[in-house]
Structure 1
Amino acid sequence: MDLLSYLNQNYLMLVPALWVLGFALKQTPAIPNWMIIWVILLVSILIGSFAFGFSFIGLINGIIAAGVAVLGHQMLKQTFFDKNGKKKE
């Protein structure tokens, strides 16, 4: 089962944009780390709904796009970096 097969192709462009947003939020001291995923989810739903229409499918695709962005980031981070953020050897 491929998660990306459930995601509308129009929403694929959101995933890298959400990665950039997450990186920017991580660099912002006023935003706590626990809040980053919620901001990404909200932004994904809002941008997806405005760009592709307000519907239940649009809502679900926004949630999936946020999930793919967060999951992809965590997979890369946990595969290539240790707990201190240093590159694994």
Structure 2
Amino acid sequence: MEWSMIFELIDPRLLIVVAACWVIGWVLKKTPKVADWSIVYIVIIVAVWLTIGLLGWSVEAIIQGILAGSFAVFGHQTIKQTKEGIKS
């Protein structure tokens, strides 16, 4: 799958949600009392909530929120794994 196809799946208005989720995930990772396994779920829930706030309540908004949150997590993991691969 090409990167351009991924960007076509997410409404361009939601790139700010992706960026916000990236920051929220980073903050949660630095928070000692938040378990690592829960960060993905929190980020996706926040993404859905923000997307509904921007686009209004609909099934499409929920799907777009899930995509935006997932894209933020995927982007972070891609960079993290690339850095780890370069080190080893």
Provide TM-score, normalisation by structure 1: 0.88
Q: Does 1:11 align with 2:7?
A: no
For 1:1-89, what aligned pairs fall within 5 Å after superposition? Answer: 1=1, 2-81=5-84, 88=87
Report the Cα distance in structure 1 between the residues aligned to 2:22 and 2:41, rounded to whole angstroms.
13
> Could you give the per-residue CA deviations for residues 24-61 of structure 1, whole angstroms, max 9, x where no partner exists?
00011111000000000100000110121100110110
- AA paired with 1:52? L
Provide TM-score, normalisation by structure 2: 0.89
- Compute the displacement of 1:81 (Å): 2.3
User: Number of residues paired by the alignment?
Assistant: 85
- Compute the displacement of 1:19 (Å): 0.8
After TM superposition, where is structure 1 displaced by more than 3 Å over at least 4 residues in a row? Answer: none
Give the unaligned 5+ runs of structure 2. none
Structure with the larger helix share: 2
Superposition CA RMSD, Å: 1.4
- Compute the displacement of 1:4 (Å): 1.4
